Structure 1
């Protein structure tokens, strides 16, 4: 059966099921009862598909290839896909690749395809095919620009095999949703010639301070995904060791990459930089509950219960243009939503009556189901269904406000485009909230983040304890220069620009947490701006300035604060040495 047709037939079947009348109970809100849909059922098994595993080597050959192939075959048996394996590049023809939903490059090395075979593979990707690169797939085809773009980055060097901390940045993708935010494992950790962050969604990165030999200046992606030239590309740097393929967490990571590349699950694989965390799972600072019920906090997620109520972000009112992203999951036919553009209030109905709700509900009417602007505009249902993961799997919303226009993206695909024309409401000013709809409605949220768009920077002094200014030591600009407090003197070393992307900049460089660390006392320094979480800062209502990645605050060290006192990272406590006035 031609590639992607199976998935299309599954969607047609789901649409047919959604026309069946319902005996479901009416929702708590005074709106018509819902009609069921296939989305309301628990996630079904994937339809059967085939993948090709290619492991030809023209350079170093990894002993783990055999273990990797065994693991993929066992995953296929358990998850309804068939694995064909080859080291014959002659398989790379239009006809030879046609049966496969994805092709796995399993630790290939060197030049493995000739010109005609490369052309056939390019066409396969252009036609919607999937690519999975494992470990030394990045040590392959250095002179083929298409492949470098597909893989995302190519190998440069590696230190000895050792344990390292993998920082999981995206826990909505099927390859990483099962992992904790920190994943400790042993492997051979590649350094790459370029950083893929600008062209791919980084799923996981290495904490270079947790091992020896990292050479990517503290921003070290190790797994990523991207849409590429019509197809899908997933890469993981793990898989050097034989033992990797016997590890349950790594196997599940590999399975998620295969499922996504084969089009069995959806995810937002667009590049992402400049977002500030509003909720990262470490706590609910800055959030307040309005109305009955609430949210439980577990596994870095907020899960709704009871209601009708709402958890809303009190620490900041969003004005102008902005983008909000968050991950959500329902386990059955539940009801929830995300609110934008409502005034500060402890009454959840204020958000309903004054703002806009982006709905999460599998079975309501079109203007009140997932992806709709509740009661105002339905989503493009065909686009929504093609992008939607079923109950039990994570989805990602992006809610992008430009002027009074609201674009809703589901797993990276735009499914709704709404413009507010009500003069009593405004998307450009208000708060963000997530709804707990009522008894029996259980929806989980995690990784809530926001980015100000097209906001002009504010520049001036950053004043802290005893009226002293945040200062770059001796106006130096080298990476790693000390940042300190000093008597305000009006020099360029004390002129900071607070950008809309959450960075705080002086002398052309960024305020940076050394090594992306999170321990109390971690050095704060000046560093080349790189878009990582170690350079994101979020002013709080209590006057502190928080680094969302670590959950800790900018702090003037010690108990006395003289000229030259360094600043560092410290657990937030709202003492005078953590209070800052930004320009």
Structure 2
């Protein structure tokens, strides 16, 4: 089986509707993107995420950038994002552990009804921060760190205990199909059951507490691509206190990645936009683009002018 499917570029005209998600007078969802460190190209990905949220007209987006890894303590002490001011906190961060007061504020925010979106390597972060690991449920950890969830060949969910099987990883980047596992969830309700995602890392064998995990979508991790040979969770959410946390493990962007990147995939962009709206409101008003991909072709937005 070829790992390089056809790619179709969505013309600007066929993207009609993407920016028309809200009606006049509808209150915008406030979003804080936390960024500043990552083992991926956050300098590019954070503005892209902000732009794709802005384009819907549904969100009011702010960005909080952490100090650098080697910044003095005073800089970290001065960094105090006000999570409680926002409907959603979206993490594009994978770096130094946050200061204890920020961690406490974050836990309080979610416990009191806040909403969190973790994108790609954001679920790799904060090894040993138990409350964050409970919120994420499944994280990039080794096999001895926690349990693993996957779907077997009969699409039955399997819980593999810690110490058995592989730990967190991914094979070669490639385009792959994403399959809906909860068609009633508003994020996926009118999307194709199976659609082709652009070239990306396909995370496998994520580990953690794995408690109250609601799997919304999976992808088959082929052994041909260096994967596990089972269906791995791609999108899931977890209730935490009065709040909830949704994780999207697609979203790789490396420093040398050129167009079309993961963030040019119409399917991924749509799911990310809708996930941010849903986690805050339990509903989705952002329409499905006319160019949303099917099962056999990747659909990408037009290449930006240089």
TM-score, normalisation: structure 2 = 0.64
**1:252 pairs with 250, 254, 270, which one?**
270
Q: For structure 2, which runs of at least 5 residues remain unmatched after alignment?
A: 1-20, 67-75, 141-167, 289-306
CA distance, structure 1, for counterparts of residue 138 and residue 221 of structure 2:
18
1:85 to 63, 66, 78: 63
Matched, 1:47 2:37: no
Alpha carbons 1:153, 1:195 under 8 Å: kept: yes
Hey, what does 1:404 align to over in structure 2? none
Structure 2 equivalent of residue 139 of structure 1: 124
1:166 corresponding residue in structure 2: 178
CA distance in 1, matches of 2:221, 2:52: 33
Aligned to 1:119: 104
> Structure 1, residues 435-468: CA drift from partner, whole Å, max 9, x if none?
xxxxxxxxxxxxxxxxxxxxxxxxxxxxxxxxxx
User: 1:265 aligned to 2:282?
Assistant: yes
Describe the SS at the equivalent of 1:175. coil
**Matching residue within 172, 181, 184 for 2:196:** 184
Check if 1:205 corresponds to 2:185. Answer: no
Alpha-carbon contact 2:215-2:233 (below 8 Å) kept: yes
Q: Report if the CA contact (8 A) 1:165-1:210 is conserved.
A: no
State the 1:71 CA deviation. Answer: 3.5
Structure 2: distance between partners of 1:197 and 1:85? 29
1:22 maps to what in 2? none
Question: For residues 110 and 75 of structure 1, do their structure 2 counterparts lie closer, same or farther at Cα, with a shift above 3 Å needed?
Answer: closer
Kept after mapping to 1: 8 A contact 2:34/2:64 = yes
Number of the residue aligned with 1:102:
88
The answer (yes or no) to whether the contact 2:212–2:239 under 8 Å persists in 1 is no
* Structure-1 separation of matches of 2:185 and 2:124: 25
- What secondary structure does 1:111 align onto? coil
Higher relative contact order (CA 8 A, sep 6+): 2
| Higher CA-based Rg | 1
Question: Cα RMSD between the aligned structures?
Answer: 2.8
With normalisation by structure 1, the TM-score equals: 0.35
Task: State the 4+ residue runs in structure 1 displaced beyond 3 angstroms.
Answer: 42-46, 89-93, 195-198
The structure richer in strand per residue is: 1
Distance in 1, Cα, partners of 2:236 & 2:139: 13
Quick one: structure 1 residues 261 and 162, their matched pair in 2 at CA, closer, same or farther if it must change by over 3 Å? same
Query: Aligned partners of 1:247, 1:122: CA distance in 2, in Å?
Result: 32
Distance 1:234 1:183 in 2: 20
* CA–CA separation in structure 2 for the residues paired with 1:191 and 1:124: 29
Taking the TM superposition and a 5 Å limit, the aligned residue runs for 1:308-347 are: none
Q: Tell me, yes or no, if the aligned pair for 1:164 and 1:210 is still in contact at 8 Å.
A: no
Offset at residue 214 of structure 1 (A): 2.3
In the aligned structure 1, how far is the partner of 2:238 from the partner of 2:23? 25
Is 1:234–2:246 an aligned residue pair?
yes
C-alpha distance in structure 1 between counterparts of 2:272 and 2:209, whole Å: 19
- Unpaired segments ≥5 residues, structure 1: 1-41, 267-388, 394-583
| Deviation digits for residues 85-130 of structure 1 (CA, Å, limit 9, x no counterpart) | 122265545xx22211010011x22333121110010011111111
2:234 aligned residue = 222
Q: Tell me the CA shift for residue 172 of structure 1.
A: 2.9
